[in-house]
Structure 1
Amino acid sequence: MQIERQRTQSRPDVLHVSEAYGGGVQTAISRYIENSPGFRHELVVRMRQAHDVGELPDVEITRLEGSMAKFISSARRVIREKQPKVVHLHSSFAGALRVFSFPGVKVVYTPHSYSFLRGDISPLVRAGYLGTEYLLSRGPHTIAAISPHEAATAARLVSGRAAVTYLPNVAGETSLSVPTCEKQKSARTRVVTVGRISAQKDPSFLARVVERVEDPSVEWTWIGDGEASLKQELIDAGVSVTGWLSNGEALARMAEADLYFHPARWEGAPMTLLEAVSLGTPVLTRKIATLDGLGFASAGCGAEDAARSVLRFAHDADYRASVQRTAARSLDIHSSSVQGRALTHLYLVSPEEAA
């Protein structure tokens, strides 16, 4: 166990706990800290080095290593030693800490997309995840959901001892730090996707969309890396795969693109979509239930529908402007001020009031 930075007080206001600190979760936690400056935050994390976005908040960090069982045991001990006013658990495995009692500590849990919604596991495993979430949702705590769909799902799980609130994700200042310039007019339409090449992001779906578009004026780029066989599917379909880039490089490539297309099979509230629209890049998403209510334009359910939507975006100026307006409106939902108010309410409400 490694602790960074000296303690300045004996009891933090908010202790964030994450067993998979990287990617969107890492970015989301940074925004929570940034948008609730009146609280003193600390972190207890197990790093995912391959998904490190290179952004560490200026707070005390306790790094844990080893197996999941060791993480749970060590994190439980740290919570009891530090006695934070609020412990904010991020993602499913950290959420397992809800099985323990932490007297005098308000427990907040953000799933960042429930594990039982995954499409790459068997129905039996999904049922196991669902049953576990149902049992862990019985006790007194608050579920801070990152999307309307996640909030509705949580509401069906909790008992009268738990509460559900909506905590929208925001892009923050990271994307705003990218130099802005007017996109160069071109006969080509540059389409970008960002993320790990994995079953969740469904690169196979994107490959089918590309094959159906059959328009050489549309350029496709995937920023990221991952499973070799899925990566090869993208390459074979004509998608340029950049591999992992630094966060700044990825944001710059997103800013240069004409369109962000999101092919995922399941999601929470992806930070990359918010970053894209904050950079002025419109977004089209595959129509999936978990993205409903987030304010992004839908490209339809199937590959044929998505291909037609991309082609229409490339060649129909009115439709392109409509997608752009929809993207801009989504920023009103996912603003720092809205998140700041939600966090203030979340972290100030006592465990008794939340139950």
Structure 2
Amino acid sequence: MVDQAETTMRVSTTAQPSSSGPTSVSLSPKAECDASGGGSVSPGRILHVVESFGSGVKNSVLSYVANTPEFEHHLLWSTHADTTVDEVDLRHFSSHERLPSGHVDRLKAVRAAVTQVVPNIVHAHSSWAGLYVRLALRPSQRLSILYTPHGYSFQRQDLPAPARMLFRLVEWSLSFNTTMVVACGQHEARLSAWPFRHPPIGVVPNVAHTFDTEDELDHASHGTSSSAAEPASGPPVIVGAGRLCNAKDPAFFAATIRELRAAGIQVRAVWIGDGEEHFARDLTDANVEITGWLSRDDAGKVLREASVYLHTARWEGFPLSVLEAASLGVPMIGRDIGALRDEGLPLLFRQPADIVGLWRRLEDDDERQATMAFVRRLADSHSDSRQANTLRVIYGDLSGPELTTSSATSREAAR
């Protein structure tokens, strides 16, 4: 697997920003004072803009904040109707403000937040936030715009090709008004390398939640088993996770479980998460247990009992659930999508019927050991220290001379 931090340094220094400069989108008169010297900029002040502050994106942002405490973090956010946000999560930010409803009002809110917070960096997370920030603002010597897609909208396989092409065109156009793309994985970095010209690209590895010590599982405990399916008692346990939605494709998970059972392989299947009712029916019809949303540590208890983690999403930025399974030493099989392929996951499949052959391969000692070696590498390369050092390089270099020394130290550590 390619080393994440080395890729960050390499891609960031060789990518070519657009010679034509930023687009003609301007700040509002109040926000313009930031670029012209009317505001007081504090080195290391970052405004995160998140349109969907929930699930994986929320956890990614919170890990960025936790791993760079020397920076001052502010949040402008909203979330979906079916997602709740714990007030505890908001306490990590120096300030937080909800985005209003309506696209125009959200553009105004971004400008107002820049006027109030006066950040060095505005970090937009996901497609809608990237749109609002890059339409409302423009980069300057005193304001950098970072963008983490967390999965590009043009990757969505539930949309017709013309819609995906339109999203791709919009992303390409907005890239000219971006100081840097901060990708969450190798595949996202590759998608960000637009033809001809593109902003610098960095790769910041996602990190898994650290479970309670009593729930952590030694990597070797799964790796020494001679079978893909030898839990303490009962049939092997296959676990999937995520919101029940098109992106995670629980119907594909259900079809895969049916194929295993049709081949005479009896398994217990569990899905961690909740969401749209018709996807829940797909799972229950296939005799898949649905836990609903669990606390992080309760989810860890389910994962640590898994014989295999099965990831069947149709598209991803980079899935945190895969990292959580890796951190617990759980072998994994994944659907053949770019996010997993570009990270080097050895056991990939394209159709539900293909799972039977992979299951048999995982019963082979050599195949299992190779899979567990990948799991260990994945967990090690997505550590808090690796993420912290990479972020310090990126944030520090864009935050002014006061943080140059810290950034240089982190750059050496990231190598």
Asked which structure has the greater CA Rg, the reply is 2
Q: Matches of 2:68 and 2:209 in 1, distance apart?
A: 12
Q: Matches of 1:350 and 1:130 in 2, distance apart?
A: 27
Answer 1 or 2: higher relative contact order, Cα 8 Å, separation at least 6: 2
> 2:257 corresponds to which letter in structure 1?
V
Q: TM-score, normalised by structure 2?
A: 0.76
Q: Matches of 2:113 and 2:107 in 1, distance apart?
A: 10
Quick one: percent identity of the two aligned structures? Answer: 32
Q: Matches of 2:76 and 2:195 in 1, distance apart?
A: 26
Q: Matches of 2:172 and 2:310 in 1, distance apart?
A: 33
> 1:180 corresponds to which letter in structure 2?
E
Residue of structure 1 in register with 2:143 after alignment: 105
Asked whether the equivalents of residues 125 and 150 of structure 2 are also in contact (C-alpha less than 8 Å), the reply is yes
- Structure 1 residues 61 and 351: alpha-carbon distance in aligned structure 2, compared to 1, 3 A threshold: closer
Aligned length: 342
> 1:43 corresponds to which letter in structure 2?
L
Asked whether the equivalents of residues 147 and 178 of structure 2 are also in contact (C-alpha less than 8 Å), the reply is no
The Cα of 1:14 is off from its aligned counterpart by: 1.2
Q: Map 1:125-136 onto structure 2 (within 5 A).
A: 125-136=163-174
Equivalent residue in structure 1 for 2:115, among 67, 80, 84: 80
> 2:317 corresponds to which letter in structure 1?
G
**Secondary structure, in 3 states, of the residue corresponding to 1:127?**
helix
Residue of structure 2 in register with 1:329 after alignment: 377
Q: Map 1:264-343 onto structure 2 (within 5 A).
A: 264-313=313-362, 315-343=363-391
Q: TM-score, normalised by structure 1?
A: 0.88
**More strand as a share of residues:** 1
Equivalent residue in structure 2 for 1:346, among 375, 381, 394: 394
- Structure 1 residues 164 and 102: alpha-carbon distance in aligned structure 2, compared to 1, 3 A threshold: closer
- Structure 1 residues 140 and 88: alpha-carbon distance in aligned structure 2, compared to 1, 3 A threshold: closer
Q: Matches of 2:63 and 2:195 in 1, distance apart?
A: 27
Q: Map 1:189-228 onto structure 2 (within 5 A).
A: 189-214=236-261, 215=264, 217-228=266-277
Q: Matches of 2:360 and 2:276 in 1, distance apart?
A: 28
In structure 1, the gaps of 5 or more residues are 1-8
Residue of structure 1 in register with 2:156 after alignment: 118
Q: Map 1:130-149 onto structure 2 (within 5 A).
A: 130-149=168-187
Residue of structure 1 in register with 2:404 after alignment: none
Q: Matches of 2:267 and 2:74 in 1, distance apart?
A: 45
Asked whether the equivalents of residues 259 and 284 of structure 1 are also in contact (C-alpha less than 8 Å), the reply is yes
2:130 is the alignment partner of 1:95: yes
User: RMSD of the alignment, in Å?
Assistant: 2.5
Q: Deviations over 1:292-323 (max 9, x none)?
A: 2324332322212223223543x444433332
Q: Map 1:155-170 onto structure 2 (within 5 A).
A: 155-156=193-194, 159=197, 162-170=199-207
- Structure 1 residues 321 and 241: alpha-carbon distance in aligned structure 2, compared to 1, 3 A threshold: same
- Structure 1 residues 299 and 53: alpha-carbon distance in aligned structure 2, compared to 1, 3 A threshold: farther
Q: Matches of 1:80 and 1:306 in 2, distance apart?
A: 54
Asked whether the equivalents of residues 134 and 158 of structure 1 are also in contact (C-alpha less than 8 Å), the reply is no
